[in-house]
Amino acid sequence: MQQSEESITKENKLTAKLNDSSLKDGVKDALPIILGYLPIGIAYGMLAVNKGLTPLQATAMSLFVFAGSAQLVSIEMIAAGAAVAAIVVMTFLVNLRHLLLSASLSLHLRNLPFYYYPFLGFLITDESFAVAMSKIESQKNKQRYFLGLGFTAYLGWVFSSAVGAFLTEFIDLGSGGALDFVLPAMFVVLLVMQISSRTEIIVALFSVFASLFFALTINGSWNIILATVLAAFLGVYIDGNS
Amino acid sequence: MEIVKFMLMIGGMVLVTFIPRVLPLALLGKKELPEKVVLWLSFIPAAVLAALLAPSILLKNGNLYLSLGNTALIAFFPTLLVAYKTKNIFYTVSGGLIFYLLISLLF
């Protein structure tokens, strides 16, 4: 008797979970993100294979790293013959912004069982963050909403990279051409989206000149790391004195 | 790419991507980062993107490439306009590719 009661409550809990619309809403809200990922993921897959990865390696990178701009940067660096250490440091810098996204999201995802965080954290991207920030407040089950949103977007990213990577096996588009402009175009829009103050404009301009200066004077890809770190210090200095 | 080098690279990339994504989420509420550190971090995205963008359109084979023949540099301006107007990755990247193609046909 007691056992069957227990199984009934379990069943109720399960239906409650399935009826919870948060997960479904998350999946639905990821669809525009996937539309955005398709061309970029395909371009990434094509570039990666053109610049020396196998289609499987290109797809594996999307599966494990899941960070579009860092992946594209690493492809450029592989092609330029950069050291593994430089690629990893660059990835770290390019993805440091996730610290801030993660810290802001934490306001909405407090006091969860600990095992949730690796999964929720892995799914943080510029896109999932932007959508979540505008929609998560109204959700009953915020962690399930973000899991639905992030995981669907993740599948879209891995899928579109794989399409680009494996297609290149059959249709060789050659390297160079318009595909080379995917990454600069993405930097442009991400940069514009990041800038919201006068100090940030100064920081960005300083970083432009510092990056060019170090690129012309120091070998390897360290110009970006040096310029980034210095420019961020300049920002702190300016804001600290105003 | 050789498999050992690839695995090292992926392992490193996973580590440095995963930690900044998960740590604040998992530790928040218990400890806040110092204000100066948060301020410094807030400039990283703009700084790193600008540092990446400049060489990608202004350098070629390690030298400055200031010329009308530099398709990426010319395409940068209309792309920036689209980015500013739409603040949308999809529109900007597709627009950028179209500008790039048109300009490479014209010059």
Higher-pLDDT residue of B32, A228: A228
Confidence of residue B30 (pLDDT cuts 50, 70, 90): low
Among B52, B58, B81, the residue to mutate for chain A (most A Cβ within 10 A): B52
Chain B residue with Cα closest to A101: B21
Chain B residue numbers touching A102 (CB-CB < 8 A)? 20-25
Task: Identify whether the C-beta of residue A186 lies closer than 8 Å to the C-beta of residue A68.
Answer: yes
A71-95 pLDDT, tens digit each:
998 998 898 888 999 999 989 988 8
Q: How far is A42 from chain B (nearest CA, A)?
A: 12
Of the CA atoms within 13 Å of residue A203, those in its CB half-sphere come to 32
8 Å CB contact of A223 and B17: no
Domain borders along chain A are 22-176, 195-242
Mean pLDDT computed over B40-63: 88
Read off the pLDDT of residues A187-238 as tens digits, 9 standing for 90 and up.
898 899 889 999 999 999 999 999 999 999 987 677 888 898 899 999 999 9
State the Cα–Cα distance between residues B40 and A213, nearest whole angstrom.
22
- Which DSSP string do the residues of B66-87 spell out, in sequence order? -STT-HHHHHHHHHHHHHHHH-
CA A177 to chain centre: 25
Residue A14: pLDDT band with limits 50, 70, 90? low
Q: In whole numbers, what is the pLDDT of chain A averaged over residues?
A: 86
Closest alpha carbon to B100 in A177, A102, A132: A177
The confidence score (pLDDT) of residue A233 equals: 96
CA distances from B57 to A202, A218, A235 (A): 19, 18, 24
CB-based contact A40 B93, cutoff 8 Å: yes
Considering only CB atoms, B10 lies closest to which of A61, A187, A207, namely: A61
Those residues with Cβ within 8 angstroms of residue A207's Cβ, 6 or more apart along the chain or in another chain: A227, A228, A230, A231, B46, B47, B48, B50, B51, B54
| pLDDT score, position A163 | 96
Taking CB atoms and an 8 Å limit, are B54 and A207 in contact across chains? yes
Residue A216 pLDDT: 93
Is pLDDT above 70 for A70? yes
Q: Specify the pLDDT at position B107.
A: 74
Which pLDDT value is given to residue A1?
Answer: 44
Residues of A in contact with B71 (CB under 8 A): 181
The answer to whether the beta carbons of residues B40 and A91 sit under 8 Å apart is no
pLDDT for position A194: 83
CA of residue B23 relative to chain centroid, distance: 23
Which segment of A17-21, A59-63, A127-131, A148-152 scores lowest on mean pLDDT?
Answer: A17-21
Percent of residues, chain B, with pLDDT higher than 90: 52
Question: pLDDT tens digits, residue range A158-194?
Answer: 999 999 999 987 776 655 577 778 878 888 988 998 8
The pLDDT score that the predictor gives to residue A202 is 97
* Cβ atoms of B92 and A188 closer than 8 Å: yes
Interchain pair A181, B97: CB under 8 A: yes
Q: Are A72 and A207 in contact (CB under 8 A)?
A: no
* pLDDT grade for A11, boundaries at 50, 70 and 90: low
> Residue A241: its pLDDT value, please?
81
Q: Region A44-52: what's the mean pLDDT?
A: 91
